[in-house]
Amino acid sequence: MNTRDLVLVSLFAAIIVALGLIPPITLGFIPVPITLQSLGVMLAGVMLGAKRGALAPLLVILLVAIGLPVLSGGRGGLAVFAGPTVGFLIGWVPAAYVTGLFAERFARPTMAALPQTLGFFAAAAIGGVVVLYLFGIGYLAFGAGLGFQKAFLGSMAFIPGDLLKAAVAGLAGRAVMVGYPLLPQRA
């Protein structure tokens, strides 16, 4: 890694933290609030690619582990890792990696605007929704003992919001690709 990579990873870790400062959206029928930090994870993968994109949420998780209150609601410390939603937190790293992997393969700089934006959206939806939910629902079901059906059905209320976040990440990825491409290219 060079200095530019370190700065970009740190910048996107800061973006993830900053998105946690935005007050969470609470729905009356769901006890878990909707936060924008998963948007930061999608943005990291879409704009930085697989390896650098995965390092940004890993850095945030390390900050949480040492006790800094960088998660939504000012949460931090080792107690966060004992909560029922820790699967979503740990899932940030593979989610950003898979998002970046798909973005590197399906959103080329030479593509027209619409296919490129759709490629970024697909990458964010696959990595930032599907992969993240695999980890989150998996831990809720088996680690927290909620049961798969209950964990799965309870998480479905968040899908529309996360798809909206994926659309925002797709549009942002396109804008950055046009103005200042950061994404490493794969053959």
> Per-residue DSSP letters for 4-30?
HHHHHHHHHHHHHHHHHHSPPB--TT-
The confidence band for 179, taking pLDDT boundaries of 50, 70 and 90, is confident
Rounded Cα–Cα distance for residues 120 and 114 (Å): 10
> For residue range 66-113, what is the model confidence (pLDDT) as tens digits?
999 999 989 999 999 999 989 999 999 999 999 999 999 998 888 999
The confidence band for 31, taking pLDDT boundaries of 50, 70 and 90, is low
Q: What is the pLDDT of residue 40?
A: 97
Longest Cα–Cα distance of the chain, Å, equals 48
pLDDT above 80 (res 125): yes
Residue 73's contacts (CB-CB under 8 Å, 6 or more residues apart) are: 20, 24, 33
pLDDT above 70 (res 3): yes
Decide: residue 167, CB within 10 A, 0-12 exposed, 13-18 middle, 19+ buried. middle
Distance of CA 125 to the CA centre of its chain: 10
Q: pTM score, two decimals?
A: 0.92
Range scoring the smallest mean pLDDT among 41-45, 85-89, 143-147: 143-147
Q: What is the pLDDT of residue 187?
A: 43
Rounded Cα–Cα distance for residues 126 and 144 (Å): 24
Q: Which of 54, 55, 60 has its CA nearest to residue 16?
A: 60
Cα of first residue to Cα of last residue in the chain, in angstroms, is 20
Rounded Cα–Cα distance for residues 162 and 41 (Å): 11
